Amino acid sequence: MTFLVDALAVYRLTRLVTRDRITEPLRTRVESGPEWLTYLLRCGWCASPYLAVGVITARRLVPRAWAPAAGVLACSAVAGLLTDLLDG
């Protein structure tokens, strides 16, 4: 169960970093920086391993603090996926 929650948290964080409108200003600002960083912030496949390392590290170092955050991210991921599925 922990793996599933963390995997959904990584999915949500990846989408937040690479695609969500709320982080678009950050991605736009970074475009004037190094090309690799711009690519990283626009490519889900590229960003997700780094975010997964962060999630796993958080789970190991601060499990009591991470568990609620992971739960919120996982619920958000499921809600978003269901919305996409049901709204077609």
- 33-79: pLDDT as tens digits: 899 998 889 999 999 999 999 999 999 999 999 999 999 999 999 99
Q: pTM to 2 decimals?
A: 0.90
Structure tokens at 63: 């499990």
Q: What's the rounded Cα separation, in Å, for the pair 65 and 4? A: 18
E-strand stretches of 1-88: none
Structure tokens at 69: 């955050």
Q: What's the rounded Cα separation, in Å, for the pair 54 and 33? A: 23
Which pLDDT score, from 0 to 100, does residue 34 have? Answer: 92
